Every structure is written in C-alpha cells, then in structure tokens.
Amino acid sequence: MSSEQTPADCQNAVTRRRILFGGPLLIGAGLCGAAFWKMLSGMQTGSFNPHDINAPVTGRPVPDFKLPDQTPGTGFATADLKALTRPVLINFFASWCIPCIAEMEALLALQKQLPIWGIAYKDKPENAAGLLKHAGNPYARIGSDRDGRVAIDWGVSGVPESFLIAPGGMIVWHSAAGLDSPEVSDGLKNALKAVGG
C-alpha cells in the first residue's frame, strides 16, 4: 500500500481483482450447468440417448483389415465385408467384458434374423473360445484382434460395440452399448429396414 492509498482503496482493489478472476469461473460453471441440465432433460424426454454415440466411421466404407481365425470360427477381412450381398452385424466382444456376456442372449436371438460376425477384442484366444462355449456362439465368423489395432481403425472405444454393414461394405449404423438395451435394439431394427434387411 502506497502512502497515498487508504485502506478503503486497498479493499476496493481486492474486490475488483476477485471480480476479474472469479467472473469467468462463474460463467464457465453456469454454462456447464446449463449443458448438463439440457442433457438430463433430453434423457427424460427421450431426445438424448447417451448410448447412441455415432462412431466416426459411420457412413464410410469398412476400414482395411485382416483378422486371423478365432476358435471356433473363421477370421475375415475387408474384402469379405465388401463382397456382402446382404447386411451383417459386426460385434466387438471380449470374455473379460461383463456387458458383452450380458448381451450374448440378445445376440443369440438376433442371429436368427441377421448374420453376426464377431471380433474378439484384446482377448486371449482360449478365453474367448471359453466364453462362446459356455454362453453360446452367435457368430457366423469370428476374428481375433489381439492387440486391438483393428478396433482403433473402426473407432471402437470399448466393448461391446456393434456396427451394421450394408451390402458392399458400407458402415450404416453403430452402437457403443449392448444389444440387450431396447433403445439399441430398436435403433438397429430401424437401420436394418433402411438398408432393406
């Protein structure tokens, strides 16, 4: 404090600094609160589904990849998906993934209407085979993605994740949640109808 400043001047300077530094924080907190409130409102009205996350590959051709066999199935590659004449569902799964185990029953029911090809994600082959032996095998073909590099190209952030592939190899739908969810199942049905499945 200089000799010309009074205690009231110092107090006013402190108050101004608090306003300058605190104002942006209050505005930021208010914006975050408004966004969170809008998200919760959307969940209540059904206009926002946190599981309905579009992968960056949706609307694009399948990425280039080649997967080795995963017992008890046969691996596959980009060329196999591009040669499709009817839709197929690609499902990333793992034996260590509890939601993957939970969705197996839904996959077993779905495979009667739609071919499902599985990709064992970052899983030991013997563990993935053990899961399918005990829970049932919904997959027409199964590849092994031991290091998860193929999953990166597909935009996978975790398992289970599923992608609907249209004839010709175009990715037309994606879900980052299990197919045992009614919202996800309905989304898949709508996407399937759109591609004539």
pLDDT tens digit sequence for 4-42: 678 777 787 777 777 777 776 777 676 656 656 665 565
Q: How confident is the model at residue 45, as a pLDDT?
A: 52
- What are 172's two structure tokens? 């037309």
Q: How confident is the model at residue 147, as a pLDDT?
A: 97
What is the pTM (predicted TM-score) of this model?
Answer: 0.74
Per-state percent for the chain, helix, strand, coil, to nearest 5: 45, 15, 40
Tens digit of each residue's pLDDT (9 = 90 or more) over 62-94: 999 999 999 999 999 999 999 999 999 999 999
